[in-house]
């Protein structure tokens, strides 16, 4: 929310709190402690104020007004959960005269926690108790606007998330296709290399075969030549002996 809206909201809360603090009439002992708490509260010394109100509430646990003041100081100290607990203790007393403002401040707690649905519920109940509570009415309208904005932002975020998911899916799909293409190229390359290896092996085998045939031919040729020489030698020997058959 912008600073102007936030300032108006916090101002309306402060007015409802200060009226309660100054309007309650307590017994002497409780009144002294309560006035000390109010004095600290009015000086924005909320820590000391909370301590005075809390001590008073512990000593007089059945007095809803003390729990209400305690909740106000806790709220100012940023202790939202503690403040919520104190306001709920206040509301247990059906005779508490400022139920509408206690419900309003419960709505303020939920507003600060950005639980705008629950804040609207508390403001609505506050108006049911007192239709003339203009602070609660204003806060109700403000919470309704904030809830609408929150829902729009959530919808926008969901759409952004869906777009991101879609982009991721498309990227994954593209990557899968690229991986498939890479696998196909690798398989084709492996196949080509295998074919080349087989061709080289065939060529080596063919070369070995040719070499073996050449060697065999050379041996046969050599054997023929030796046989021829042997035959010529035999013929020479026969001629010398003059024998013919």
pLDDT of res. 14:
41
Indicate yes or no: pTM above 0.85.
no
The angle subtended at Cα 107 by Cα 102 and Cα 111, nearest 5°, is 145
Whether the CB-CB separation of 24 and 34 falls below 8 Å is answered with yes
Cα gap 26→13, rounded to integer Å:
23
- Which of 125, 120, 121 has its CA nearest to residue 141? 120
Q: pLDDT under 50 in the chain at which residues?
A: 1-3, 5-12, 14-15, 18-25, 244-245
Where do the domains of the chain lie, and which CATH numbers do they carry?
3-149 (1.25.40.10)
pLDDT of res. 25:
47
At 151, list the tokens. 């829902």
pLDDT of res. 11:
45
Question: Is residue 96 helix, strand or coil?
Answer: coil
pLDDT of res. 163:
76
Give the pLDDT confidence of 49-87 residue by residue, as tens digits.
999 999 989 999 988 999 999 999 999 999 999 999 999
Whether the CB-CB separation of 41 and 49 falls below 8 Å is answered with yes
Whether the CB-CB separation of 135 and 12 falls below 8 Å is answered with yes
Phi, psi angle pair for 194, to nearest 5°: -65, -45
Cα gap 11→3, rounded to integer Å:
12
pLDDT of res. 119:
95
pLDDT of res. 236:
65
């Amino acid at each position: 929310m912008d600073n102007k809206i936030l300032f108006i909201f916090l101002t309306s809360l402060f007015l409802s709190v200060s009226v309660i603090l100054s309007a309650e009439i307590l017994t002497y002992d409780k009144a002294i402690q309560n006035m000390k708490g109010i004095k600290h509260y009015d000086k924005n010394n909320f820590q000391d104020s909370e301590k005075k109100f809390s001590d008073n509430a512990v000593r007089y646990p059945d007095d809803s007004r003390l729990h209400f003041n305690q909740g106000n100081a806790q709220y100012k100290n940023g202790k939202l959960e503690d403040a919520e607990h104190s306001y709920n203790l206040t509301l247990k007393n059906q005779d508490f005269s400022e139920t509408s403002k206690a419900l309003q401040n419960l709505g303020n707690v939920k507003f600060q926690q950005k639980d705008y649905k629950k804040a609207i519920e508390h403001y609505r109940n506050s108006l049911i108790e007192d239709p003339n509570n203009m602070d609660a009415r204003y806060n109700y309208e403000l919470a309704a606007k904030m809830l609408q904005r929150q829902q729009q932002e959530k919808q926008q975020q969901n759409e952004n998330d869906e777009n991101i998911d879609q982009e991721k899916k498309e990227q994954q799909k593209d990557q899968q296709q690229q991986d498939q293409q890479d696998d196909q190229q690798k398989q084709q390359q492996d196949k080509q290399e295998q074919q080349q290896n087989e061709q080289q092996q065939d060529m080596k085998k063919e070369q070995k075969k040719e070499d073996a045939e050449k060697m065999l031919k050379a041996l046969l040729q050599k054997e023929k030549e030796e046989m021829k020489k042997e035959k010529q030698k035999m013929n020479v020997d026969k001629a010398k002996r003059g024998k013919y058959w």
